[in-house]
Structures are given as structure tokens and as C-alpha cells.
Structure 1
Amino acid sequence: MHPKLRNLLKIILRSLAIATLKKFQPEIVGVTGTAGKTSTKNAIFSVLSPHWRVRATRANYNTEIGLPMTILGGWPKPGGAGFWIWVIISSAFRLVLPKFLLKYPQILVLEYGADRPGDIKRLLEIAKPRLGVITAIGDIPVHVEFYDDIEGVIREKGRLIEALPASGSAAFNADDLQTKKIEIKTRAKSLTFGFSTEADVRITRFETKLGPNNRPEGISFKLEYKDTIIPVRISGTLGRPQAYAAAAAATVGIMHNLNLVQISEALSDFKPPKHRLSVLKGIRQSYVIDDSYNSSPIAATSALETLSEIPAKRKIAILGDMRELGNYSKTAHEKLGNQAAGICDILITIGTKSQTTRQCAILNGLDETKTLHFENIAMAKGQLAPLIKAGDLVLIKGSLSIGLKAAVEELKDKNPI
């Protein structure tokens, strides 16, 4: 789309979204962070939707175009000129219809992205939440390349919390040190979630559920709030990130006066998004942990921790570049290599920056003959499958632009039982 037309579309969608919110006045739950936003948003939807009419951001529609799209309707993936004309006309038509003819959502769960400075400020000018959730930021946040420093990312994410009214609510990750810098800035009532003993909504007894032949099947854990404890089990996904998403959603549920039993029942229907630590049956009786959607230091570290906790004959990590880290890129890839050395039997790196990951893994004791590097995913095509044996557990993790979904396609069983 031509830049001028795109800017005009932003203006029109923004105006329609603001008018729609003014007419229907839904409660807005805003979610931001540098990792876990989409999973958390989906979990919040699962918890709230049995009790209210709820609409959540589709996929990761968290931009100046995506956010208004959620406000205006549950639109599918954007198309050509005809699609946008239909969105504008139908949205304008709904503004003139009486409210009682339209079952507009009572709650909107919106994802606020912040790739660059000022992004959240512009989104807040469209929709200000009453309840805000900070998922996690980490020591080296993604997109830091476009900010002056890490503190700039924290300030940008913090804008969402600062915009909350005094009568509002905020939920913070108790295990993330960076979010503590944001928590002190809010006037709203706050609760925390996480594994920490200081968390208001605490995750305990976390474990990976294994089936026959150590087949990874999902995760289970307990959620504790005050004197109540509930069990949670999530199938088809692995790792602590999904436990954080469930705990954040439980916190939002508590803020809406739901009890933990209601929350536990709702979370039984929670389906984490694809390509986020998803468990797949792989070729030759192997298993694949598909975490190929995107990557950041905090997410990649968590993915390797997940790999380390699951028994397997061999543990293989296919790691792509972590993009948009700017001056922090070398340090982040070095740390990942240091961690991988103590976990992986085989390490495969893909991308120009992840060569550093491989080199650091070798320096920290991983046999060089157990490593491979490809400059891009095209060079790796057809080279991965021959390496896989029965009983292998393969983690695939990298930034979206590296294209590691192709590696998933190469290694997953095309005819799973």
C-alpha cells in the first residue's frame, strides 16, 4: 500500500474506532510487554468470555491499524482495496444504528505493541484501558534497536500503566525486575503474578506432563491466591511462558470478582497460539518444540530452559537470530550460546548473528563437531532432516524474519497419529 494511502487509512480507522468506543463504552483491558502478549491476551479471553461478551485482538493486531480493527469488529486478515472499503462502510453504518440492535462486546482485550518510541502513546490516543497487564520485559528487550537504551523501552511500555485511572487496575509479572520500575508509577490498584513467593497470584508445582516414551504432552501447575489453590493443566504446549499467561489471566479474572474455581474451569479451554512452544510429533519418532513465531533474549532463554527439563535421548536446538537488539545483539547471542552449551547435544544456528551463539557454545564446552551453522534458512533446507533420530527432542526458536517455520515443516511428522 502506498504510504499516503496507508496514512489516510490510519486516520479513518482511528476516527471510526474512537467514535465506536464513545458510543458503546466497553471496558478495555490492555496488554503489553516484550514477550508473551498474545498468549496472555488469549488466556484473558478464555477466563472472561464465559461471563461477558468479550472480543480480543486477533493474532497480533497491535498497531495503529490492527488495534482499530479489533475495536471495529472481529475482522479476518486484511485484504485489498475492496476489503478496506467494506470495513469503513460497515463500521460507519454501525455508528448510526441503535445500540440495542447490536451486541457489541462488553469487554475488549487489546494488545498494545511498541516497536518504536511513541507507538503506545499513539495507541492510547485511540483506546485507554481501565485495566493494564505487563507480561514481561527482560534484561534485553526486543525492539531495543529503535530506542536510545533499555530504559527507553521500559518507559514506552510504562505509558500504558501510567494512563490507567486511579479507579483502574494493573497486573504485573512479579518475577521480572524491569516491570517493578513501571509498577511504582501507577495510581491504579495492582496485583502481581508469577513464581515468586511475593506474587499475589502464585504459580507453584509446575511440571511438564509426559506420556509414553517420554512424549511431551503439556504442562500442569497450581495457582494460589490468598487461601485458595487450584490446579491448571494445559495440553499441547510446554514451558513456563504459558503458565505466566494463565496466571496473568487469573489475575485479571480476580480483578473482575471471579473466584479461582471459575477461573480454573475457564482455563481448561485455553488454547495457546501456534508456534509458541507447541508440541509436535516429529519425523522418525522424534518430537519438535515449535517456538518459531518470534524470539527475544527472555523468550529464547525460557525456551532453552524448557528443553533442558524434558528427558530425551538427544536434545537438539535450532536457533535463529534474535533481531532488533541493536548494540545489545552480540551480548544477547553470547549469553544464549553459553546457556546452550550446557543443554544441547547438537546445536544448529541459522542467521548472520547467531554465529556468535555457536562460537560461544563451543567456547563453553560443546563439541564443535556437534554444531552446524547456516547463513540463512534457504541454505539449511534439506540439511536438517537427515540429522534427526528416534527419541530426539528438537527445539526450533528464532525471530520471525529468519523463517524457521520452514524448519518446522521439514522436521514435523506429516501424518501424525
Structure 2
Amino acid sequence: MSVAKKIHPALREWPLNLRDRLPLALWDSEAIAEATGGTASAAFQCAGVEIDSRDVREGDLFFALKGEAMDGHRFIDKAFENGAVAAVVDRPVEYPHILVEDTGEALRSLAAAARDRSSAVRIGVTGSVGKTGVKEAIFTALERASRGNTHRSVRSYNNHVGVPLSLARMPSRSRFGVFEMGMNHAQEISGLTAQVKPHVAVITTIAPAHIENLGSMEAIADAKAEIFEGLVEGGTAVIPADSDWFEQLRDQAIKQGARVVSFGRSDKADVRLLDAIPSANGGSLVTADMGSERVCFTVAEPGDHWISNSLAVMAAVRAAGGDLGAAGLALAEMGGLKGRGARHELRVPKGKALLIDESYNANPASMRATLRQLGQTPATRRVAVLGSMKELGDFADRFHEQLAEPLAEAKVDYALLVGDEMRALVRHLGKGGGNALAEGLSFAHCQGPAEAIAALEEYGLNAGDAVLVKGSNSVGLGKVVAHFTSRDG
């Protein structure tokens, strides 16, 4: 009897679609060579793409990128020891490889090929504050509905290397792709959005991050609005209605032919907050008017800034054709990200203390938001470990001094101020006087994380304390978090 006669008729008649014919492997040597214009030394398939030999896993393709101070070709052996199946190189090596003229240009070419071969709806996310959290929330919402067929840029892979790397990793079967885009200077996002070519472009907020390089808030808004330049025809711009730069963002989006969807508390917002009340899990129960419908959902992440973030997420999910019900469930289940709101219980004498990890990044807007969140957190004592805010240039002293007000409003009992730029706040708090800024607040200045750890150990954490750790990543306050979360108590 033939094999065909043994197959159940229903299986033979199972309908096929174009997605069924797409490859299961991420890339094969033929497709990589075609995309990059390179030459393959052998036939192979790969399951991932990596640029750091330390992060290579079994089945990865390793790109030997060359920078000003580092050459990835030096780490070829290490990449293959860790499981690489092949490498993209600009000189022949003894391992399976794709030989190209320029490995950086080859990565960008592979990224473009990944974008063009997939029918995925692409969402680009930028903003001065909250872009990584919003990117993760959009991904989680779409991932839930697409049952695993949503791709995203991991961690903060949002620059001229991270964005093409994230694109190159996108499987051909993806239904959605969510990509974060960051910048330090004008025209950076312009280049990134040209690579992604998003169908939906989201700006979370405009705040004085990187003002040292850009010079003014208007220039920051213009730099963020560059994300609209890459929108596909008929694409959607999702922008904050409550921003002082709303009109500027709206006009830039319209100039690029985008459909504009705004979100926020403003009466003019297309996705408008109607109500937000505290929920049992410490987050918020949000009701929003989305024009054609009203939605009610829970946001697990605490803080007013996450109420606004959730509106941006809902606007983006709807614009991408996602499931709003799944998005609501995803927001209810999201936990804090490492360095961006993760909450840890610390075992201390006679009970537990709370540590809020915001150690990855800081600017004036996010400092105020997280201090406000600390002030709303039930606690016996509130402790703030605050690191310097970088890239503020001539504005640094003023913005650091202005942290006195949110510290007072949050009723912080003890503040550890870490880094050179914090000296301005130390001086300001030390003046005391009739403004009562220092009333009830003890504070100390530390040069680095080691001093901060020692000072916090000396202060001593008690049951019921809430500790916020926040600063620019270069200050290294992640070491403070690691110290207190890794000990036995």
C-alpha cells in the first residue's frame, strides 16, 4: 500500500497559506550571501544572530564587527567555542563563514532583508522617558494575541548597531515587530527609522534627556519627531496629547503624511483617560475612551507615569491591528523590568523592606515620576539612593537642584546622593532656610556605588522601609541593587 493511502484525507486537504511555506530556520547561508552580497564558504543554517562573542549561543551566526577600539575578528575562536555555526567576516577564517567587504554594512543589509521578507506590522518606539518599558508592554500585548509570533528588540538595543541587529533577528513568520529607537544627537533617529520603516511610530514623552547635545527642548522634540520620517505610506503616529510640544510633534507627523493618534488626559486626546484608581496589586485600574469604544483594564506597574504609558500602549496596539483585550490582560500581568522598576523584597531584621530598582537610567522627568511613586508607596521610612543625571550640560546644576522639591513631596526620610553632579543638590539642601526643603530629610553625598553601599549599610534598613535606587547607568547604582538583593538578609 502506498504511503499516500495511509494518510488521513483531512490531513491531505489541510489548507496551506504563504506563511506555511516560510523557512523555519532564521537564516541559511544562501539567503545571507544574497542579502549581504557576500560569499559563503559552506552551507549552513542559523537560529540567531549575535555581535558579542560572550553572548553567542548554540546555532548563532556571529558578526565580526569592527569599531574604533575593537575588532570582532579577534573573538572568532570564542564565538565558535560558544556554539556559533558560522561568522560574517571581512577576511577568510578557518570556520564556516560569509566573506563580505564590510561587516557593519553587511549587518544593515541583512536587517533590510529581514524587514522586506516579512509581512510583520512594525512598531517603532522612542521618547525621552519610558521607551523601553512601553516597547516591552507593546510586545507583551501583541505576543499574547499572536501566540508567539511577535518579535522585539531586546534590552536597550536602540542605536545604530542595536536596531539593525534586532531587525536581522526577526523571523520571517513574525506577525508583529516592536523596535526601540534612541538618540544622543539630531539625525540619529532619522537613520534608524529609515531602517525599520515602521507602520506605527510611538513617542512616549518629551523631556530634557540629552539636552547637553541638543541645546533646547524644542530641538529634543524635533529629534524625536524624526521617527515619523520612516513611516510607511498611511502609517500612524502615536503622540502624547499632554506634552507642551504636542503641536510641534503633530505638525511634524502630518508633514510626513501620517495619521495622528494622541493619548493622555487632555480633552483633545484620541485615547483619553477617563478615570484611574489604585488597584489591589499596587498598580491602577484605568478607564479610557478610545473614541469608538471605552476600555477598562488594570496596569500592574505602579505610578502615574505608567497610567500614561498604558494609554500609549493601547493606542499603538489598536493602530497595529492588535487585540485590545489581550493588551489589557498583558498590562495587568507585567512586572517591573530590571533597572526600570523591578521590585525586590529584602529580608531585614524583624521583617521585609522594599527595594525599587530604577538604576538603569535617569533624567529630570523620570526622577520626578519615580520619586512621586516612592511617595505613594506605603512605608515606615522612605529612602532614596539617587545617582547623577548625565548629559545635561550647562543645565546640570539647575536640574539637580530642582530634585529638592520632589524629595520633599515624597516625604523622603534619608537620601544618598551619588556622583559629582549631585553636589549642586547637596549644596541646595544644605542651605535649609525658610523653604523647609531639608525639614525631616537626612542626606549624605557619596562619590560612587561602593560608598553608597557602605552608607546604606550604616544607616540600616528596617522592616517596612521602601528604598528607591535611581540614576544614570554610568553611575553604576546597579551594584547597590545587586548587593542588597543578593545577600541572605
The residue identity in structure 2 corresponding to 1:329 is: A
Q: CA deviation at 1:69?
A: 1.2
Contact in 1 for aligned 2:380/2:465 (Cα 8 Å): yes
Match of 1:12 among 106, 111, 124: 106
State how far apart, in whole Å, the 1-side matches of 2:440 and 2:335 are. Answer: 39
Give, in whole Å, the separation in 1 of the partners of 2:441 and 2:294: 48
Q: 1:21 to 1:171 in 2, by over 3 A?
A: same
Which segment drifts farther, 347-356 or 18-27?
18-27
Within 5 A, what are the aligned runs for 1:355-394? 355-362=423-430, 363=432, 364-365=435-436, 366-367=438-439, 370-387=442-459, 388-394=461-467
Q: Match of 1:124, SS? A: helix
Name the aligned partner's letter for residue 165 of structure 2: M
- Residue matched to 1:261: 325
For the pair 1:238 / 2:308, whether they are aligned, the reply is no
1:208-219 equivalence runs, <5 A: 208-209=278-279, 217-219=282-284
CA distance in 2: counterparts of 1:8 and 1:173, whole angstroms: 40
Please name the residue that 1:181 is paired with: 248
Deviations 1:318-351 (A, max 9, x none): 1110001111111111111232133312221000
**In angstroms, what is the RMSD of aligned CA positions?**
2.6
SS at match of 1:50: helix
Query: Which protein is bigger by CA-based radius of gyration?
Result: 2
Matched residue count: 381
Match of 1:196 among 266, 289, 297: 266
Give the residue type in structure 1 aligned to 2:467: V
Q: CA offset at residue 145 of structure 1?
A: 1.6
Structure 2 Cα separation of the partners of residues 303 and 68 of structure 1: 32
Q: Are 2:238 and 2:316, in contact at CA under 8 Å, matched by a contact in 1?
A: yes
* TM-score (norm. length: structure 2): 0.71
Partner of 2:402: 335
After alignment, is 180-189 or 64-73 more displaced?
A: 180-189
Write the distance in 2 (CA, Å) between the matches of 1:282 and 1:196: 39
Q: Residue 133 of structure 1 contacts residue 172 of structure 1 at CA under 8 Å; is this kept in 2? A: yes
Return the match for 2:135 from 22, 41, 44: 41
Structure-2 separation of matches of 1:316 and 1:370? 10
1:396 to 469, 472, 475: 469
Query: What residue is the counterpart of 2:479 in the other structure?
Result: 406
- Residues 1:64 and 2:160 aligned together: yes
Distance 2:291 2:217 in 1: 34
Moved more, 255-264 or 390-399: 255-264
Q: Deviations over 1:212-243 (max 9, x none)?
A: xxxxx4444333323644333344x4212333
Q: Which residue of structure 2 aligns with residue 150 of structure 1?
A: 217
- Provide TM-score, normalisation by structure 1: 0.83
Q: What secondary structure, in the 3-state scheme, does the structure 2 residue paired with 1:349 have?
A: strand
Structure 2, unaligned stretches of length 5 or more? 1-65, 73-100
Task: Evaluate the alpha carbon distance shift between residue 106 and residue 369 of structure 1 in structure 2; reply closer, same or farther with a 3 A threshold.
Answer: closer
8 Å Cα contact 1:10-1:64 kept in structure 2: no
Secondary structure of the residue aligned to 1:311 is: coil
Cα pair 1:136 1:173 within 8 Å, conserved: yes
The 1-side partners of 2:480 and 2:279 are apart by 25
Which residue of 2 is the match for residue 94 of structure 1? none
The one-letter code matched in structure 2 to 1:221 is V
Rounded Cα–Cα distance in structure 1 between residues aligned with 2:416 and 2:295: 40
The aligned counterpart of 1:121 is 190
Give distance in 2, aligned partners of 1:249 and 1:40.
6
Aligned residues with identical type, % of pairs: 26
Alpha-carbon deviation of 1:295?
0.4
- 1:355 touches 1:373 (CA, 8 Å); kept in 2? yes
The SS at the match of 1:382 is helix
Greater relative contact order (Cα < 8 A, sep 6+): 1
User: What is the rounded CA distance, in whole Å, between the counterparts of 1:368 and 1:8 in structure 2?
Assistant: 60
- SS across alignment from 2:462: coil
Query: Which residue does the alignment assign to 1:95?
Result: none
| Cα distance in 2 between the residues matched to 1:369 and 1:266 | 38
Which runs of no fewer than 5 residues in structure 1 stay unpaired?
Answer: 75-101, 212-216
The match for 1:347 is: 415
SS at 1:396's partner residue? strand
2:204 pairs, out of 126, 135, 158, with: 135
2: CA distance, partners of 1:113 / 1:401: 17
Secondary structure of 1:286's aligned partner: strand
Is the CA contact (8 Å cut-off) linking 1:173 and 1:194 kept in structure 2?
Answer: yes
Aligned partner letter, 1:54:
T
Q: Distance in 1 between matches of 2:363 and 2:327?
A: 30
- Corresponding letter in the other structure for 1:226: G
Q: 1:341 to 1:59 in 2, by over 3 A?
A: same
